[in-house]
Amino acid sequence: MPGIKIGPIVYTTKYTDGDKLNLDPDWDDPDDGASYYGAVSHSNQVVFLNRHNTEEREKLALLHEVLHAVSDLYDAQLHEGQVKCVSAGLMQVINDNKWFRKKLCEE
């Protein structure tokens, strides 16, 4: 998977088994669970994706983690609940409106 440029920063993507290996030590775990769909390390510029995600879950996790990175870079201070709502809402709009998706991706 190619890097994701967010502002001046390029985030790499890595697949994991859903654990939080290599994440920032101060990473805030909202669920305190053992398995994750995705995560982002701002200090290492890495988006982690669980290799066991379904295709749809991977897309949603990728968008979710990108929103976290945008929030961090532009100091939007979005909390986890806001990121969940916005990423799910945007994914629904993108999936259900082919013309909209095409318009966004026009060069």
Tell the residue number behind the tokens 């979710």, with chain if given.
Answer: 64
User: What is the model's pLDDT at position 28?
Assistant: 52
One digit per residue, pLDDT tens: the chain, 107 residues?
A: 789 999 999 999 999 887 665 555 555 554 455 568 898 988 889 998 988 899 999 999 999 999 999 999 999 999 999 999 999 999 999 999 999 999 998 87
pLDDT tens figures, 38-59: 989 888 899 989 888 999 999 9
CATH classification of the domain holding 21: 3.30.2010
The total of structural domains in the chain comes to 1
Q: Whole-model pTM?
A: 0.85
Which has the closest alpha carbon to 22: 32, 13, 10? 13
Residue span of the structural domain in which 54 resides:
4-105
